[in-house]
Amino acid sequence: MYDSARPLSLSARAARAYLDVCFFHPFGDGNARAAFLALIFVLAREGITLDNVSLLRRVRFQADDPQDPLILSRYINFHLSGTRRASSNGCRGQKINHTL
C-alpha cells in the first residue's frame, strides 16, 4: 500500500517505470530497450547520469515476477553507489545533483 508520507525512493521509482513499460509496451521485441530508456529518464529528471549500467543491460526483468522489482531496485542502487564513489573520487567528470 502506498503511503504518501513515505514517498518511493528514486531507485524504486526508476524500477517501477522500467517494469511498467515492460508490462504495457505493445511489442515483445522492444520492451527491454524502451523500458531501459524510461529508467534512464527517471534518473535524468533527478540530475543523475550513471557511469555504468552493465547489470541493468545484461539482465532482463519481468513485470509479473514478484521478485524482479526488488532485484531491479537493488541493481539500480548498486549503480548509483558506484557513480557516487566515482564522482567523489574525481574519477569522472559527471556529477550527481541529487542526494539520495
Spatial contact of 74 and 15, defined as CB atoms under 8 Å apart: no
Per residue in 24-60, pLDDT (tens digit) is 866 666 677 888 889 999 999 998 888 777 767 767 7
Q: Give the global pTM.
A: 0.71
Q: Which amino acid is at 3?
A: D
DSSP state of 5: T
- What pLDDT does 98 receive? 42
> Kindly report the CA angle at 15 between 58 and 66, in degrees rounded to 5?
90
